[in-house]
Structure 1
Amino acid sequence: MAAVIRNDLGSAQYYGAECLSKGANKGINHTRNIHEDEMSTTHINATKSLIQQMAEDPMLVLDRMAFQNGAVDLGLGFPNFKPEKKITEALSEAATGNDYMLHHYTRPYVILLEPFYTPYKDMLMIRGAVPVFVPLHPCLDGDKQSSADWVIDKAQLENAVTQRTKAIFLNNPMNPLGKVFDREELLDIANICIKHDLTCVADEVYQWLTYGGKHHMHIAKLPGMWQRTITLGSAGKTFNVTGWKVGWCLGPKHLIQVLQNYHFFCHSDQPQYTTSKKTQSINTEKSESEAVAVAFEKEMLILNTPDSYLHTFRKMAEEKRNKLCKYLNNAGFKAIVPEGCFYIIADITNAQGALMNKSENTDEALDYKFAKWAVVEKKLCVMPFSIFFSKQHRHLSEKYVRLCFVKTDETLKKAKDIFDQWNKN
């Protein structure tokens, strides 16, 4: 089920990792009746096109440029410090313990709310689905701006639904914007799902990471939504183990059964794990899953107490968020304060410096030009906001960039030094 979400590109550089649950895109059991000969050419062309797009993917391009230029990397979203000790200890116990069974086999239309986690679109297209894009619109007023100021146009969302629409993807809290949908907004989405009999794929991998007293709410808990919702969770985001690719799906039996079948038949390549002194090839996916379960059992005993890892991590992340917002604002950027997740969206309008004087006249989005300029000239890696939007809605996004704030204090200090000098050279 790992095909649903590519968490390696969206993982956070700190406590959580982007290990989305595996197999969400097959949780929609409403496929169109299209013959193989009709689909084959479409899939081949789509795959070739995606390969070409991935070669020019701004995330990969900027990551290479950051390495080549020795830049401070706030672009990719993964923590650059160690995960919690108990989670790695749990992995060690699971990998070397006595439970040897851990190492054995045990073209619909889909609405994507923009900004969207970029692998959603690619994976839907590979599976033969057609993504339909509905953007959140900024209603920004004043100096202090928040991710809550980006809202859904209910009429636009309703009009995007046709007889061929089968599902809607909801990322809450939302990567990259950091928006946490409130009850009224979730009810609007739920009502449309119920009215048109849509499946809701609720990506809630950042559910534990909300700030400023904002509370996350599960859309599956709303009336009429449990039987039509698949909820995705991530061990990576929760326990800062990005590379483990361990997640989970929650939902009614008729949807989860489809995911289980899909996962069984498509997930055949097993990773390798090496132990000290003696090398063994084992299925680390099972070991990692066991470790995550143990870590959750321990965490649940102290949840909502000062000793809770989820509590202390949220508090630490919020402090880092506030620091980076301050650095950005002092440098002439305008930070959009996130209510959740790992990221800050920053308006670059007043921080472009000499960029516009040197910028080539190309069709590239402004934020992508800015990101490539910043990684070379300022030694700072950020991500263009426009890569999280469709081309038709790029105009809503290209004056912003995304920065990950869940970094070590050392990394944030390096970023501060760059921002302090931003307008001086």
Structure 2
Amino acid sequence: MLRRVGPFLRHFLLERNCSAGYSSYCSEAKMSRPVQARRLEGVDKNIWVEFVKLAATYSTVNLGQGFPDFPPPEFLKEAFSRAVSGEEEHMLHQYTRAFGHPPLVKILAQLFGKLLGRDLDPMTNVMVTVGAYQALFCCFQAFIDEGDEVIIIEPFFDCYEPMVKMAGGTPVYIPLRPKAPKEGKLMSSADWQLDPAELASKFSEQTKAIVLNSPNNPLGKVFSRGELELIADLCVKHDALCISDEVYEWLVYDGKQHIRIASLPGMWDRTVIIGSAGKTFSVTGWKVGWTVGPNRLLQHLRTVHQNSVYHCATAAQDAVAKGFQRELEHYGKPDSYFVQLPRELQQKRDQLVQSLVAVGMKPIIPEGTYFLVADISEFSEFQCCLGRAEQGGQLSLVLLLGTGTCTNTIQRGEGPHI
């Protein structure tokens, strides 16, 4: 009993002394123990936070974060406007089902059931998240324990590594290695490939999962069926999970086909597919994502979800559901947004490739996504500024080359968007 009363009396006396103006006593009573949890060590910095700050400070175009500078389709904006106005249902301003607004999970189950060739239960095989970012967080928290290894393919989206570490896991890296392009040809993201023996060597008894990102951010690589079969065979052999980040699934160019690894033999039961309305419909600020997979995996994601964010924005989910309903009705037709968007972005990609070649750079042509990586190894100066007039606009590229770091910004005038 006395042991329980002690902390109470100490708190009471401390409050009394502080209120009486004994400031020196109060300052001495501040916490001296470390506040930060060990799991945050080494993961407190974020490159895109810094880039956003720099872009705002110097009024430059932010080429770091993946978001477009053009509006989403009219049908989606109209659906969102109706949802927030309450014209159709005022309850869209309130909570909905924690694991996904029923209209959205139902249409996602219908769409992905068609794409994967299987019947999906919208209540157990689909979960809506606060963007794909939270979907990734749920996966790592749900599956990764202390001592588990997670294979990450380089180059990779920056959050994979810190999320694995925060979960107590150990990242194991496997690089995509470039092969020389044909004479006179620019390098393509398809020229960057996994070495089969090297990949096999990364799997061990401690391997819990591999993170697959196709189309890949930042290279834009779209993994071929053969490459996916290689990964799938190793996952089955070593009983490993596959966390498949497919947020750019609709942004594929030059007639390439996005193949879902979950559709390969033996992979459905060990794969979580991650998607994003932000990338699908060009509404990154809505933060609506989802996971698709077997209930035996998603049940653990639901545990993390219900004990963290619990719920996602109802109106945005409702608008996305209507967007997918519209796309299902127009699927594969010329007026489908999933047909129009990659066609428009491919034209922008080709324009940017030409601009970079014109100033002496060697762009790596992406097969998908809206990122483009360029080889600047021939620029030896510490700082190099390149400029040229282009179609009524002004393109200037600033490269800061220093100790292993390259920062780039593109500033444009009133010319067409890139």
> What TM-score results when the alignment is normalised by the length of structure 1?
0.70
Question: Aligned AA for 2:359?
Answer: A
> What TM-score results when the alignment is normalised by the length of structure 2?
0.71
Please give the secondary structure, in 2, of the residue aligned with 1:216: coil
**Is structure 2 residue 235 aligned with structure 1 residue 244?**
no
Match among 151, 157, 172 for residue 111 of structure 1: 151
Assess, with a 3 A threshold, how the Cα gap between structure 1 residues 154 and 102 changes in structure 2: closer, same or farther: farther
Conserved in 1, the CA contact under 8 Å of 2:92 and 2:315? no
Counterparts of residues 22-421 of structure 1 (less than 5 Å): 44-51=37-44, 53-54=45-46, 57=47, 59-95=48-84, 96=86, 97-98=88-89, 100=91, 103-104=94-95, 106=97, 107=146, 108-141=148-181, 142=183, 143-268=185-310, 285-351=313-379, 353=381, 355=383, 364-365=403-404, 368=405, 370-371=406-407, 374-375=408-409, 380=411, 410-412=416-418
Counterparts of residues 5-16 of structure 1 (less than 5 Å): none
d(CA) in 2 for partners of 1:340 and 1:48? 34
Question: Aligned AA for 2:62?
Answer: D
Conserved in 2, the CA contact under 8 Å of 1:194 and 1:225? yes
Q: Percent identity?
A: 38
d(CA) in 2 for partners of 1:63 and 1:159? 38
Assess, with a 3 A threshold, how the Cα gap between structure 1 residues 241 and 361 changes in structure 2: closer, same or farther: closer
Conserved in 2, the CA contact under 8 Å of 1:190 and 1:219? yes
Question: Aligned AA for 2:416?
Answer: E
d(CA) in 1 for partners of 2:53 and 2:321? 36
d(CA) in 2 for partners of 1:236 and 1:199? 25
Question: Aligned AA for 2:358?
Answer: N
d(CA) in 1 for partners of 2:37 and 2:350? 46
Please give the secondary structure, in 2, of the residue aligned with 1:266: coil
Query: What is the CA deviation profile of residues 95-137 of structure 1, one whole-angstrom value per residue up to 9, with x for unaligned ones?
Result: 3232627722532211111111101111111121211111111
Question: Aligned AA for 2:42?
Answer: S
d(CA) in 1 for partners of 2:233 and 2:93? 42
Conserved in 1, the CA contact under 8 Å of 2:383 and 2:400? no
d(CA) in 1 for partners of 2:344 and 2:327? 17
| Count of residues in correspondence between the two structures | 318
Query: What is the CA deviation profile of residues 136-195 of structure 1, one whole-angstrom value per residue up to 9, with x for unaligned ones?
Result: 111123432100000001111111111111100000110100000011000000000000
Please give the secondary structure, in 2, of the residue aligned with 1:49: coil
Q: CA deviation at 1:260?
A: 1.7
Query: What is the CA deviation profile of residues 207-250 of structure 1, one whole-angstrom value per residue up to 9, with x for unaligned ones?
Result: 11111111100000001111111111110001010011111111
Conserved in 2, the CA contact under 8 Å of 1:103 and 1:286? yes
d(CA) in 1 for partners of 2:328 and 2:180? 39
Instruction: Point out where structure 1 has 5 or more consecutive residues left out of the alignment.
Output: 1-40, 271-283, 382-407, 413-425
